[in-house]
Amino acid sequence: MQKLAQTCNEVNGTKVPAALPMKKKRGLKRPRSKRTVGTNEDAGRCTRRRQRKASSASSSHEPEETHHALPDVPAIVISLERRPDRMEECAQKLMKNCAGIQYQRFVATDGKATPIPESEVVYSWSTVKNVVYQKLRAVRKGWDDLDSYQERQLVLSPGERGCASSHIRAWRYCIEQSGGEERPLLVLEDDADPTPEFVKVFSRAWAALPSDANLLYLGYSQAAEWRREVSAELVESEYVWTTVGYVIWPACARILLSKLPVDQPVDNWMATLCAEGDVKAYCVRPKVIRQADAWNVNSDVPHSDEHYWGANSDIQHSDAFYWGNPGEEAKSKDDIPMVGGSCFWNIGSDESEDSTDEL
């Protein structure tokens, strides 16, 4: 494996470390065995052994250990300018398990401070489409809580609108940096936590990726069954949650931009387009990007759909870092509920489906 040095790249004027390759050190050559003088009988035994080895090799050749090269895909890390601590933690995680990745910081849209046009991101959303896939996942997981998923009209939080705007800007950047070619871009959020198997699994999935791919999810929470298995490390997806890490191609970026405005949380919106056949999405299996914390824990993006399904669910919820008062519904200026409370799945927890990687 090549050793790597750190340098600094920047997007939107913010410097962060990124890894660049250094010269490889040559490994030691295996010493040649010394020739010895033996009898004709010894020579005959050696000849037969060589023949058996040659025959065995031709019938069941064992390949040498494969060197897994990280796909040559530039990356950005979406991070709020007012949260350098999160960017620093993310940089450390990237260096630990995928040091060869070439990434730049991409300053996120601050939904609390930056005006976001409604032509790009709406203010409220219907849970109707998402509830369909919440129920599908509940059935697939054997959860007895179908009556707890309710169709509601909810207000997008400023963090959700800022998150959607950040990804919209990332899609535009994907097109800009491609130079008119179909050069993909890896989009990461600053809570991305690569697994130790990142390079090996990502490279294998990349090698098996069909040419019709629009999106490749490296981190996700699975809702529906996989549409098909492409290889041991790659599946075609119908509907997955989260935008913690994905590869997008310029053709897909153009499709997404043509479908604006985002009319629900951006991961739901992207998943809906996948389910409806507007884009072709694949997932690396097992996932190689996890979220550093459980869903909505220590997050800068409060979620509008945290608590609406009620208290009868069998899903284990976390009450940490909720926004708003427990059991109390805030309302927008249009009297649309803005609900707060516990999170609806714990992406990073051992209790969630992520621990099984949806095999």
Compute and round to an integer the Cα radius of gyration of the chain.
25
More confident residue, 323 or 258: 258
Q: What is the rounded distance in angstroms from the CA atom of residue 275 to the CA atom of residue 257? A: 17
pLDDT in tens, 283-317: 999 999 999 865 444 445 554 554 433 333 333 32
Backbone φ/ψ region at 324: left (φ over 0), alpha (ψ -120 to 50), beta: left
Would you say how long the chain is, in residues?
359
pLDDT, tens only, 141-182: 999 888 889 899 999 999 999 999 999 999 999 999 999 999
pLDDT tens digits, residue range 46-70? Answer: 444 444 444 444 444 434 445 678 8
Per-residue model confidence (pLDDT) at position 350: 33
Listed in sequence order, the residues at least 6 apart from 72 whose beta carbon sits closer than 8 Å to its beta carbon are: none
User: Is residue 189 pLDDT above 70, yes or no?
Assistant: yes
- Please give the average per-residue pLDDT across 197-205, as a whole number: 97
pLDDT averaged over every residue in the chain: 75
Domains of the chain listed by start with CATH number: 75-297+330-355 (3.90.550)
Least confident of 35-39, 99-103, 287-291, 347-351: 347-351
Report the distance separating Cα 211 and Cα 60, nearest Å: 31
Per-residue model confidence (pLDDT) at position 359: 39
Distances, alpha carbon 105 to alpha carbons 73, 90, 101, 187, 299, in Å = 15, 10, 13, 10, 18
Q: Identify any residues that bridge with 17 across adjacent strands, giving them in sequence order.
A: 8
CA 201 from chain center: how many Å? 13
Q: What is the pTM of this model?
A: 0.70
H-helix or E-strand spanning residue 50: helix 40-59
- Count of CB atoms within 10 A of residue 46's CB? 11
pLDDT in tens, 220-230: 999 999 999 99
What CA–CA distances, in Å, run from 76 to 21, 213, 298? 18, 20, 21
Q: At what angle do helices 158-177 and 250-258 cross, to 10 degrees?
A: 140
Residue 340 pLDDT > 80: no
CB 216 within 8 A of CB 282: yes
| Three-state secondary structure call for residue 48 | helix
Secondary structure class of 75 (helix, strand, coil): strand
Phi, psi at 142, each rounded to 5° = 80, 25
